[in-house]
Every structure is written in C-alpha cells, then in structure tokens.
Amino acid sequence: MTKRLLIIAFLSLTVGSTFAGGLLTNTNQSVHFLRNPARDASTEIDAVYTNPAGLIFLSDGFHLALTNQSVFQTRTITSTFAPFAAYNDGNATKVYKGEASAPIVPSFQFAYKKDRYAISASFAVTGGGGKAVFNHGLPSFEAPISMLPFSLTSKGVNTTSYSVDSYMEGKQFIFGLQLNGSYKFNDALSGALGMRLNIVNNAYVGHLKNIMINPNQPAFGALYNGSSLVSAPKFFTDAATVLSGWSTGATSYVAGLQQIVSGGGGTVLLANGTAAGLNTTQIAQIQGLLGAAGLTPAQIGAINIQTAQGTLAAAAPVFAGKATAMTTSAASTADKQLDCTQTGWGVTPILSLNYHVSGLNLAAKYEFKSALNVQNNTVVDNTGLYADGVNTPHDIPALLTIGGEYQLCEKLKVSGGYHHFFDSDAKMANNKQQYINGGVNEYLFGTEYSINEVLMVSAGGQITRTGAKDAYQSDMSFSLNSYSLGFGGAVKITPDLRLNIAYFFTNYSDWTKASANYNGTTLAGTDVFSRTNKVFGIGVDYKF
C-alpha cells in the first residue's frame, strides 16, 4: 500500500502535449496551422518549422511571423471501483477532472531569402505547454486509500467510511529553438538541413493529506467508536501503542505465571487465581489480554492458568506483529508532499526536401530522435520517488512528415499531409514505450480560398490514430484517437503586413480500460479516459 500512496506524479502527470501532435511533440507552432493543419508543403513563413526546404520560394528579403496561441484543455477520468462508494455517497463511480490551460503560448518564425539560399530560425513551445490541475487528485491516488475500510473490516475493525485531501498540479514545457539552411538545387528541387535545441522544463507539485477513517475499535481509544471520521495516522499510531502494550503484558505474564505452573497451580481456573497467588487486578489484566487474543467470555471463564499461559505465549508475537503493521500503516497514511522540477536538453537534426512543378508542391521532412534525460531538482519529496539529482529518460521521438499542396485555380488551394511519430523507439520513464504499437499516425487535409487580394479564408482537419496499447493508458498519461478541425482567415493590412486569426478544436474518442487488479488493489475496477481541447490563435506576418 505504501508504494501506491506515494505515487504522486511520475509520468504525469505527464501533462504531455496539450496541442496537436504526438505524445511529446506539438505540430501547431504557428497560427497558420490552426486555420489549416495541412501545412507540410507550405512555402510561406510557417515553413520554417513545417517545410524548411520550401522557404526557397519566399520572395527575397526578410520575413517574420509572430503568433500567440491560447490553449484550453480538460482531462476527465471516470472511475468505477466498489470501495469508492465509502467516500462518494454510496456511488462506486467517481469523476476526476483536470484542467490544463495556457493562455499565452508565443512563437516566432524568421527567414532571410536571397536568390537560391535561405536561412531561418524559429522559437516555439515544441512539446507540452500547459499546466494540468487535478484538484481532487487521481483515482490511482485514491484507490489504495479507499481500501482502508475494506482492509480494516476484514481484520475485525469495522470501518465504513474514509476521506482524503488529494491534489496534483503538473507543468511540462519543451522549448524549441530551431535553425535551418535551405538551398535551391534547380527550379523544381530544394533541400534544407536544420537542427532544433530542445530545452525541457517540467514541474510537479502535489499533496496527499488528511486521510480520515471511522474505525470502530474502542479498545484502541474511546475516540474510535465508529461514529465519526478520525485521523488515520493517529488511529494506527494509537493502535500500535496499545498492541505493543498487549505484547509486552502478555510476555510478562507468560514469565510471571511460570512459577505458579511449576508449583502445581496450573490446573486452577484463572477466575479462581487468587487461590494460586494472583490478585484480582492481575486476573482482570490477564482476562483482558485473553479477550484481546480473541477468546470469548465463556472460554475465558473456563480457562485454567496453564492454558492461559500458553494462550498468552502464542498471542504475544501476534500482538507484536500487528503493532509493527499498524506502525507501517501510520507512516503510509501520513501526509505526503511533492515539489519537484525536472530539466534537460537535447538536439534534433532535421532533413527536408521540397519538389515544385507548376501548381503542385510536394515536401517531406524527417526529424531524428532526440535522446535526452531529465534531472530531478527536488525541494521536498515525502514520496521517495523523486530523489534529487536522479535522471529519467525523456526522449523526443523521430518524426516523418509528408505533404502536398495544389493550386486548383487562382483563388483556391488544397493541401494534405501525413505524420508518423516513432514513439516506440523513444525511451520513456519506466520503459512505457514498449506499450506503444509503432507510434502515432496523423492524416491532414485543408483548403484555402482567396476572396480578394485582401481577405483569405481557410479550413482543414486532422485525424489522429494513437499507437498506444491498453497497458500504456493510465490516469497519469493517456493517448486517445481523435479528429481535429481548424478554421480562420488572413487579412492584408498593408502589402507587407498580414493578420492571421484562427480557432482549432479536437474531439477525442473515449478509452475504457478495465482491470482485474485496479491500481494494485487486487479488486476489479474500470477507468474511462476522455479529453477536450480548443485553441485560439492570432498572429502577424511581416516581410521587409
């Protein structure tokens, strides 16, 4: 139980990617993506990220794009587990809702084009990008606690209710600074080489405290009569004190009764022990210990001194063992806090090719895997899971993108694309990559229509199919199939300045995970994972 109570955040709340893209990669790094996600063959300024080889088709000079995205997401876990009924008005189903928000997510793309050459740079939140808050923790936090009434009742301490104060907040940011060099080989073919410096900054803050139960065991204290909730650590501590006292008392009386037994008084009824040299106080204490050992009043009334001695000899180590278990439970249910940041960095090499003929533009890009670890910088950790200075695998997977654009007519352009994230080849904490079947696949499509020389509108969508297996999914990190739609427009304020606005939302398919050993409790339970996501974007393009 201790280990489960201490698991406050390890993958976390992996906040993961709060935007479009793979498990750790954001592909929406500009407002252009939001209004038309199929940007993999772009030849505009956003190609700094999506298609560096396509920058060669910019006009000569400097180009700059500035974007801000406001991202709002909810994560909901609907959990059904019978013991939850003890802290949920008799209902075994509980809903845990986390909200992730990032109202300000800036990015920029910059390029300079001259003849057959282009150099470019960008900065964006390339992974993560938000704060997820679960004000009532997660089911994996609560499940072991909910077992306390069940466990105590099975051991003869009738307990029917519990409560807990549980909280989790996780932040994850991967900041990416990218540099590219592009070259035009001939009128049709161009290529680019680039690299991205990824800087990881994660933070986890959480607590698990004020665990309360209502045990009915007055032998451990008058307060423990089952009528109200009491502190679980205090109950277990008091119980350990009483049980330790019983063990000491039983051991003492085993030795003290030996003289009577050796003198031939072993057959005397304990109730008549005064005839063998015991006083009434001693008889009452021995009878109390026998009752604590499980004997009925009738059995205690009929027991002789020698049998009582044997019973106490057997009970003493049992009392001691239970005292040790209670001490362990007191430590397990004590307040836990976590305040930890994680930092790390890695480099992503990038290759890009672009082929252009007539109204058709085709492009491909490959981003190599970024091998990196994150290091714990721990302020406080009562969990024992985040030792200061420990490193954890946090690879960013390789990514292949393929895209195309076709100018159907002067005013109308259509586009499409495909993304594959090689997630199963990227090392994760606890080797979770083994539970990913290849990786995430994305299919993108979009269109743009120029109403006139000033106003353009666009729209598109993305279909995402996760490669995650059932074993990958947990309340701390889950990946869902989804489809996304985005739309928006662009307005030329001046010949060199354009304003972009967009809205993008994602609809996720629920994932139901049933377990015969729910969060290590040995009992059956079910989680249903769901998410919502919406993004608002605004930005400007400027050439000079």
pLDDT at 458 (0 to 100):
98
pLDDT above 70 (res 1)? no
The closest of 37, 35, 33, 538 to 45, measured between CA atoms, is 33
State the amino acid at position 241 in one-letter form: T
Three-point CA angle 52, 424, 485, nearest 5°: 55
Per-residue pLDDT tens digits for 393-423: 989 999 999 999 999 999 999 999 999 999 9
pLDDT at 262 (0 to 100):
95
In the numeric block, the tokens 């694309």 are attached to 417
pLDDT above 70 (res 20)? no
- Strand 61-80 vs strand 525-543: parallel, antiparallel, or unpaired? antiparallel
Q: Residue 22: which pLDDT band, with cuts at 50, 70 and 90?
A: low
Per-residue pLDDT tens digits for 239-276: 999 999 999 999 999 999 999 999 999 999 999 999 99
Query: What is the C-alpha to C-alpha distance for residues 55 and 47, in angstroms, rounded to an integer?
Result: 6
Q: How far is CA 270 from CA 43, 160, 282, 287, 307, in A?
A: 98, 37, 10, 8, 9
pLDDT above 70 (res 444)? yes
Query: What is the C-alpha to C-alpha distance for residues 283 and 270, in angstroms, rounded to an integer?
Result: 7
pLDDT above 90 (res 354)? yes
pLDDT at 13 (0 to 100):
37
- Write out the H or E segment, with its range, that includes residue 30: none
Q: Residue 208: which pLDDT band, with cuts at 50, 70 and 90?
A: very high
pLDDT above 50 (res 3)? no
Q: How far is CA 41 from CA 353, 406, 503, in A?
A: 10, 10, 21
Query: What is the C-alpha to C-alpha distance for residues 108 and 164, in angstroms, rounded to an integer?
Result: 45
Cα-based torsion angle of the residue sequence 279, 281, 282, 284 in order, rounded to the nearest 10 degrees: 120
Say if residue 227 is exposed, middle or buried (CB neighbours under 10 Å; 0-12, 13-18, 19+). exposed
Q: What are phi and psi of 287, to 5 degrees?
A: -65, -40
Helix (H, G, I), strand (E, B) or coil at 235: helix
Domain 2-64+104-208+338-523 is found in CATH 2.40.160.60:
yes
Mean predicted lDDT score pLDDT of the chain: 92
Which long-range CB contacts under 8 A does 512-519 form with residues at least 24 apart?
A: 513/470, 513/473, 518/81, 518/143, 519/4, 519/139, 519/140, 519/143, 519/144
pLDDT at 7 (0 to 100):
37
Domains of the chain, residue spans: 2-64+104-208+338-523, 218-330
Helix (H, G, I), strand (E, B) or coil at 91: coil
The closest of 519, 420, 416, 414 to 464, measured between CA atoms, is 420
Q: Residue 386: which pLDDT band, with cuts at 50, 70 and 90?
A: confident
State the amino acid at position 168 in one-letter form: M
In percent, how much of the chain has pLDDT > 70?
A: 95
Q: Which two tokens stand for residue 182?
A: 């592009």
Per-residue pLDDT tens digits for 293-322: 999 999 999 999 999 999 999 999 999 999
Contacts of 180 (CB under 8 A, 6+ apart): 48, 52, 55, 118, 119, 120, 121, 192, 193, 194, 350, 352
Out of 21-25, 364-368, 431-435, which region has the weakest mean confidence (pLDDT)? 21-25
Q: Which two tokens stand for residue 272?
A: 């008549």
In the numeric block, the tokens 């900054």 are attached to 201
pLDDT at 19 (0 to 100):
53
Query: What is the C-alpha to C-alpha distance for residues 244 and 223, in angstroms, rounded to an integer?
Result: 19
pLDDT above 50 (res 506)? yes
424-432 average pLDDT score = 87
137-144 average pLDDT score = 90
Q: Residue 24: which pLDDT band, with cuts at 50, 70 and 90?
A: low
Query: What is the C-alpha to C-alpha distance for residues 442 and 462, in angstroms, rounded to an integer?
Result: 7
Q: Which two tokens stand for residue 31?
A: 């407002």
